[in-house]
Amino acid sequence: MCDCLFCKIIAGEIPSEVVYEDEQVTAFRDINPVAPTHILIIPNKHIASINELTPEDESLVGHLFAAAKDLAKQEGIAESGYRLIINVGPHGGQEIYHLHLHLIGGHKMRHPMG
């Protein structure tokens, strides 16, 4: 593990409300939620951003999205709808440089984005 915030959460060094965990990903509730459901889904492998992905990471990225689908169902928002967001780089709003997928739902989302 590296010294980033999310790596420390994965290692159990920083407490979080983990809602899902397996050998590839960890999912936990955001500490500053923007909606009733706001879960961060992160790979257990440190990858700084989408820009750092390699061909070997393709199945891991698919697993992130599969976990998001399962969590949406678990949270009771699959039928009503939800938003998945990945921020990349400073102009994309990325604040923590460990790839993460935001699962947001529980109320009607506003448009337009950006």
Residues annotated as catalytic (active site), given as ranges: 100
Decide the pairing of beta strands 82-85 and 37-43: unpaired
**49 burial level (CB within 10 Å; 0-12, 13-18, 19+):** middle
Please answer whether residues 63 and 42 qualify as being in contact, where contact means their C-beta atoms are separated by less than 8 angstroms: no
Q: What is the separation of C-alpha 46 from the centre of its chain, rounded to a whole number of angstroms?
A: 13
Which two three-digit tokens encode residue 89? 């780089």
